[in-house]
Amino acid sequence: MKEKQPDISNDTPDPVAPADLREPLIVIASNRGPYSFKRNEDGQYNVQRGAGGLVTALAALAERHQVLWVAAALSEDDRAWVQQRDRSPQNVEGILLQLFEPDKVAYDKFYNQIANPLLWFIQHQLWDTPRYPSIDGDTWDAWHNGYVAINRQFADAIVASVKASSDKRPVLILPQDYQLYLVPQLVREQLGEQVQIQPFCHIPWPGPDAWRILPAEMRDQLLHGLLASDRVGFQTRKDAFNFVQTCRFYLPDAHSRGSRSTIHYQDRNIEAKAYPISVDVEKVESIAEEMETRLFKNQLINSIGDSRLILRTDRVEPSKNILRSLQAFRLLLERYPEHRGKVKMLTLLVPSRMEVGEYITYLKEITAEASLIDADFSDGFWEPVRLIFGDNYHRAIAAMQLYDVLMVNPLADGMNLVAKEGVLVNQRDGVLLLSEYAGAFYELGDQAMTVSPFDIHSTAEILHQALTMPAEEKSRRAEALRSQVRHASVKLWFKTQVDDALAGLRQTHDPS
Ligand code: G6P
């Protein structure tokens, strides 16, 4: 989910700290940076720790390593902030932040035409293929002058930052996600084999068939871009396996000699490996205790009353399958009238990507379905469905403390951190309903109730089972889920990747 943290500081980050020459330099590259900047009335900048699972996940790393983070300046205030600092890297909370200013026209094509929706929709298998997408002249233009161009700008910014700050230290470069698939190759061309390049793909990697939507030239360029890495990280072993199969299927020069997880391509070996992401356990637990969370919790308790609570909390995102969870709830009320007046479905929604038509349509469909359920079932006192819009992490955590059932039924999801946050903070031995197509299913599936995201008939049955589950079973499942998440924090996720990259680096420098 997208979540915003409160302001963490007021203007003036520290000057750049002197480099520790013994430490490797870890370079993270992501489209959205860890911080954004907002100019206030006095002309000072408020720093906001950013949104999204990726940022939450990576914020922990600065405690252990020297980190340079390269990201795009997304807003006008971000651009002004960079310019005011002569475009040099700045120390924010121990991270050296290098924002670069992407070309605006190219960026729009990159973000709104290729990354979202084209790649996102392919990787979550959302396209209604008899109708969409049509790859037309605009798409080709957006590919060359948007996606390729912005990846090139990113690569150049990374290379410039590395050259300016590495002092011959070993360098690990970790590009994040589907926006930056071409970066490994573009960086490799300039920095050679001495640097370790290890991208991580946060979203699902589907098998070869899904990639047929992309014309061969785009697809091959994308795979070729990623295969300049040393290792490519994925959320699950299934994603890593699918990546290997995709490369083997489409690239005649890609082989996986005996191993299902290593690709041999153009005289190099590239490993595909799963690193399941998690949440920052201590941070989530401490936010759950904060006063702001308590205030939201009290407010929610008042509005829920004696009702049982079915919760979902998501970005407005077609892959999250919000519409079918409402349809399943409608079926529950139809088939099991005993729940009427006693159960509420609370849906917290963060509008996102409103520049992309499919997202606006989806939002309208959700609103319409929720209104119709209320119109059909409300008795004037009881409000079966409530939608709350807005990006408020404290409120989301408060609601997660209170659910009896947490609905996580995506059509496809790289991991789904809501499932992990939910089981960590919930205080009612709530039941997790989890899609078998969420990456989290591989860790939490045993103790969750499995839902098939397309099957609203069975989802309604499972909702009923969850609402009537004996207390002892609920408690046993909730405890097992909580302990699973507690033992695999995001710090471990990052450490494992860095350890692998460091081992790769040692191998490069001393192959004996
Ligand atoms: C979600 C996904 C990330 C992705 C991000 C992009 O949070 O889980 O994998 O990078 O969306 O969102 P944005 O708002 O930056 O386009």
Per-domain boundaries in the chain = 21-104+150-278+491-509, 281-487
d(CA 301, CA 279): 26
Going from the Cα of 316 to the center of ligand 1, the distance in angstroms, rounded, reads 12
d(CA 188, CA 174): 12
d(CA 444, CA 478): 10
pTM above 0.85, yes or no: yes
Protein residue with least CA distance to atom 13, ligand 1: 32
User: In the structure encoding, which two tokens stand for residue 213, read together?
Assistant: 């939507």
Contact between 391 and 50 under an 8 Å Cβ cutoff? The reply is no
CATH 3.30.2130.10 fits 21-104+150-278+491-509, yes or no: no
In this prediction, residue 6 carries a pLDDT of 37
Ligand 1 contact, 32 CB (< 6 A): yes
Q: What is the DSSP letter of 17?
A: P
Protein residue with least CA distance to atom 5, ligand 1: 52
Going from the Cα of 52 to the center of ligand 1, the distance in angstroms, rounded, reads 6
d(CA 30, CA 158): 11
Query: Which atom, in ligand 1's list, is nearest to the CA of 202?
Result: 9
Ligand 1 contact, 54 CB (< 6 A): yes
Going from the Cα of 404 to the center of ligand 1, the distance in angstroms, rounded, reads 28
Contact between 274 and 234 under an 8 Å Cβ cutoff? The reply is yes
Rounded to the nearest 5°, which phi and psi values hold at 300?
-65, -40
* Fold: same for 21-104+150-278+491-509 and 281-487: yes
d(CA 366, CA 310): 16
Residue at token pair 């002249």: 137
Residue at token pair 């790769």: 504
Residue partners of 160: CB distance under 8 A and separation at least 6 = none
Query: Which atom, in ligand 1's list, is nearest to the CA of 203?
Result: 9
d(CA 397, CA 454): 27
Going from the Cα of 282 to the center of ligand 1, the distance in angstroms, rounded, reads 23
Ligand 1 contact, 352 CB (< 6 A): yes
User: In the structure encoding, which two tokens stand for residue 22, read together?
Assistant: 């013994």
In this prediction, residue 479 carries a pLDDT of 98
Ligand 1 contact, 347 CB (< 6 A): no
Ligand 1 contact, 52 CB (< 6 A): yes
Nearest residue to 27 via CA among 151, 153, 152, 176: 176
In this prediction, residue 17 carries a pLDDT of 40
Query: Which atom, in ligand 1's list, is nearest to the CA of 52?
Result: 7
Whole-angstrom distance between the N-terminal and C-terminal Cα of the chain? Answer: 45
Query: How many Cβ atoms are within 10 Å of 157's Cβ, its own excluded?
Result: 21
Please tell me whether residue 32 adopts helix, strand or coil conformation: strand
Ligand 1 contact, 438 CB (< 6 A): no
Protein residue with least CA distance to atom 1, ligand 1: 52
Protein residue with least CA distance to atom 7, ligand 1: 52
Which residues of the chain fall below pLDDT 50?
1-21
Residue at token pair 């990113």: 154
| CA 427 and chain centroid, separation | 25
Instruction: Say if strands 35-39 and 262-265 run parallel, antiparallel, or are unpaired.
Output: unpaired
Going from the Cα of 78 to the center of ligand 1, the distance in angstroms, rounded, reads 18
- CA angle centred on 423, ends 417 and 426, rounded to 5°: 125
CATH 3.40.50.2000 fits 281-487, yes or no: yes
User: In the structure encoding, which two tokens stand for residue 378, read together?
Assistant: 């409300």
Q: Is 38 exposed, middle or buried (0-12, 13-18, 19+ CB in 10 A)?
A: middle
In this prediction, residue 13 carries a pLDDT of 41
In this prediction, residue 401 carries a pLDDT of 98
Nearest residue to 237 via CA among 199, 275, 278, 274: 274
User: In the structure encoding, which two tokens stand for residue 354, read together?
Assistant: 């409103």
Contact between 358 and 318 under an 8 Å Cβ cutoff? The reply is yes
Q: How far is CA 44 from CA 5, 38, 81, 236, in A?
A: 19, 8, 9, 43
Going from the Cα of 202 to the center of ligand 1, the distance in angstroms, rounded, reads 8
Q: How far is CA 491 from CA 225, 278, 456, 504, in A?
A: 28, 8, 36, 20
Query: Which atom, in ligand 1's list, is nearest to the CA of 30?
Result: 10
Ligand 1 contact, 4 CB (< 6 A): no
Compute the radius of gyration of the chain from its Cα atoms. 23
Instruction: Say if strands 405-408 and 385-389 run parallel, antiparallel, or are unpaired.
Output: unpaired
Please tell me whether residue 231 adopts helix, strand or coil conformation: strand
Going from the Cα of 176 to the center of ligand 1, the distance in angstroms, rounded, reads 10
d(CA 186, CA 191): 9
What are the respective helix, strand and coil percentages of the chain, to the nearest 5?
Answer: 50, 20, 30
Rounded to the nearest 5°, which phi and psi values hold at 86?
55, 30
User: In the structure encoding, which two tokens stand for residue 337, read together?
Assistant: 């009238």
d(CA 440, CA 317): 18
Going from the Cα of 456 to the center of ligand 1, the distance in angstroms, rounded, reads 27
Contact between 54 and 202 under an 8 Å Cβ cutoff? The reply is yes
Going from the Cα of 1 to the center of ligand 1, the distance in angstroms, rounded, reads 8
Residue partners of 305: CB distance under 8 A and separation at least 6 = none
d(CA 56, CA 40): 25
Going from the Cα of 53 to the center of ligand 1, the distance in angstroms, rounded, reads 7
Instruction: Say if strands 405-408 and 308-315 run parallel, antiparallel, or are unpaired.
Output: parallel
pLDDT tens figures, 66-125: 789 999 999 999 999 999 988 889 988 778 899 999 999 999 999 999 999 999 999 999
Ligand 1 contact, 177 CB (< 6 A): yes
Going from the Cα of 469 to the center of ligand 1, the distance in angstroms, rounded, reads 35
